[in-house]
């Protein structure tokens, strides 16, 4: 099923420097890997002509019959009638062209456990992922994130935030990261503890520092950034009477992790205020001086107006995942409240065992419908604002707005083409509403990441999805057997 792939497969990772770095991480260069990923296509000289272009650049209007010229991974120009001598021409007629969609929080390794969150407490999401996560090998981490990356590209998601909370060994982290490298996706890799790690035990700061020190050769020519997946300073747990109460976590854990990340200049991301039992976590962070521009909080459903103002003043961001939050019963995200208080808000997949898939169009639609329903107003959350949450606002949340999130001269070429001629989306009317109300992953015809065409004509160009599904299915069955999961 798996074969040993030589240097050819890793040429795009940056050559000998990367091979040397990976060799330092336990000799994983020669590990048995998937044959389902081929060499990435080269960055070309391409012009998309006569498309409906939604740049998502603040203050800039859409461009009907617009062109985008892309060369060597960068956007050369956006406009009409562009001169692009020698460029490959892609006919954009009948397509909406916009920046690639951006996920801001995704436990990508869990995709091997898709549709396994069951109907009773023993088989719920947290018990299931914890029990099965314990038996994941580094190779399983690779396949989980490889499958997630493939689905992301298929769905028009060009940037992901891989919130990796199953790092049992450093090799688990390296193999998980390798899936992102090989597929050519842009993203952040957030290094976190395993689900089974005691709340008093910090992650291996030595391993985090080691990865940070080698990052220039691991970043896939700048496509990937590094961050910390943090546990925060408190948690809601049942007391002796079975009632939930807030308990502080050990400073020997949270301070060590937080200060290491800050010393290394890494962004920090943390789940907090997720349910009605969680509260005041942002206030607790604020008292410690831990709220900063570069902090991302996830879910934040039970967040007070005071805490929202703290986040806004600091320039911190919030990532919501309405599909998973509703599926697991956390509650309804406070979308309008965060936006009204000027908090940088963005959308996320979270975990496909709860969401079922990684369709960001579906997440956008759910976010709009949920907020309009809560507000009892058809017009509370306009479609274009929702698209901003999945593009330019998401790029800001990940510190990538200088590179991606909008179509602008000089930015990197993360671009998707959505067909408007399919039966579920046409006829052509209001483009923003076409994307939010009607579009699905299957409507994404073409995907470019950093100028590489990774999907064309509805097919991934560098990933054999048939082989990948065979390999991923075998990995899942082996995990279930090792865990004796019933």
Of 360, 451, 423, whose CA–CA distance to 151 is shortest? 360
> What average pLDDT does range 194-209 have in this prediction?
94
Alpha helices of 240-382 — where are they, by DSSP H? 251-264, 281-287, 305-314, 322-328, 335-340, 352-355, 360-375
- Given a cut of 70, whether residue 420 has pLDDT beyond it is yes
**Model confidence at 32: pLDDT above 50:** no
Cα–Cα separations (whole angstroms), residue 288 to 255, 256, 258, 259: 10, 13, 11, 12
Average pLDDT, the chain: 92
Strand-pairing partners, residue 226, are: 189
Region 186-192: mean pLDDT is: 98
For the residues 138-166, what does the mean pLDDT come to?
98
Neighbours of 207 (CB within 10 A): 17
For the segment 11-35, the average pLDDT, to the nearest whole number, is 39
State how far Cα 240 lies from the chain centre. 38
DSSP classification of residue 80: S
What was the pLDDT predicted at 34? 62
Report the alpha-carbon distance of residue 459 to residue 444 in Å, rounded.
9
For residue 223, what pLDDT is reported? 97
* Degrees, nearest 5: CA angle 43-49-51: 110
pLDDT digits (tens, 9 = 90+) for 50-66: 999 999 999 999 999 99
CA-to-CA distance for 390 and 405, rounded, in angstroms?
8
Q: What is the pLDDT of residues 305-337, one digit of tens each?
A: 999 999 999 999 999 999 999 999 999 999 999
Alpha helices in 134-204 (DSSP H): 138-154, 170-183
CA 134/CA 315 separation, integer angstroms: 36
Report pLDDT digits (tens) over 85-117: 999 999 999 999 999 999 999 999 999 999 999
**What's the confidence (pLDDT) of residue 31?**
43
Is it the case that residue 2 has pLDDT exceeding 60? Answer: no
Mean pLDDT value of segment 145-173: 98
Mean local confidence (pLDDT), 74-84 = 97
For 396-422, what is the mean pLDDT? 98
pLDDT of residue 286: 98
Specify the DSSP element, H or E, that contains 235.
strand 234-238
Q: What is the pLDDT of residues 456-466, one digit of tens each?
A: 999 999 999 99
């Amino acid at each position: 099923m798996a074969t040993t792939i030589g240097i050819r497969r890793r040429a795009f990772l940056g050559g000998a420097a990367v091979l040397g770095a990976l060799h330092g991480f336990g000799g994983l260069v020669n590990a048995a890997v998937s044959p389902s990923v081929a060499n990435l296509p080269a960055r070309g000289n391409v012009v998309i002509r006569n498309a409906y272009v939604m740049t998502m650049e603040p203050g800039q209007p859409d461009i009907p019959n617009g062109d985008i010229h892309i060369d060597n991974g960068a956007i050369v120009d956006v406009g009409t009638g562009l001169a692009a001598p020698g460029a490959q021409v892609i006919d954009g007629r009948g397509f909406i062209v916009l920046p690639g969609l951006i996920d801001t929080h995704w436990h990508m390794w869990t995709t091997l456990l898709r549709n396994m969150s069951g109907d009773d407490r023993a088989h719920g999401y947290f018990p299931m992922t914890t029990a099965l996560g314990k038996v994941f090998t580094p190779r399983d981490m690779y396949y989980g994130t490889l499958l997630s990356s493939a689905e992301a590209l298929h769905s028009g998601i060009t940037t992901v935030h891989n919130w990796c909370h199953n790092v049992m060994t450093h090799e688990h982290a390296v193999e998980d990261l390798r899936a992102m490298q090989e597929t050519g996706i842009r993203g952040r890799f957030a290094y976190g503890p395993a689900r089974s790690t005691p709340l008093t035990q910090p992650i291996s700061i030595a391993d985090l520092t080691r990865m940070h020190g080698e990052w220039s050769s691991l970043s896939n020519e700048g496509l990937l950034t590094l961050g910390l997946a943090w546990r925060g300073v408190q948690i809601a747990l049942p007391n002796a009477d079975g009632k939930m109460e807030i308990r502080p976590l050990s400073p020997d854990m949270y301070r060590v992790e937080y200060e290491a990340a800050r010393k290394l200049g890494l962004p920090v991301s943390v789940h907090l205020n997720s349910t009605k039992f969680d509260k005041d976590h942002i206030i607790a962070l604020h008292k410690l001086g831990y709220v900063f521009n570069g902090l991302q909080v996830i879910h934040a459903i039970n967040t007070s107006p005071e805490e929202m103002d703290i986040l806004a003043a600091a320039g911190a961001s919030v990532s919501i995942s309405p599909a998973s939050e509703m599926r697991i019963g956390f509650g309804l995200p406070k979308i309008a409240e965060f936006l009204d208080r000027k908090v940088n808000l963005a959308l996320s997949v979270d975990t496909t065992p709860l969401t079922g898939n990684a369709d960001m169009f579906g997440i956008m639609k759910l976010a709009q419908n949920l907020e309009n329903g809560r507000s009892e107003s058809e017009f509370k959350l306009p479609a274009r604002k929702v698209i901003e949450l999945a593009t330019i606002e998401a790029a800001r949340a990940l510190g990538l707005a200088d590179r991606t999130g909008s179509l602008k001269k000089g930015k990197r070429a993360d671009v998707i083409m959505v067909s408007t001629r399919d039966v579920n989306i046409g006829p052509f009317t209001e483009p923003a509403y076409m994307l939010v109300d009607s579009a699905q992953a299957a409507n994404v015809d073409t995907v470019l990441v950093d100028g590489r065409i990774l999907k064309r004509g509805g097919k991934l160009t560098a990933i054999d999805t048939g082989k990948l599904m065979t390999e991923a299915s075998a990995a899942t069955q082996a995990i279930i057997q090792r865990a004796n999961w019933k």
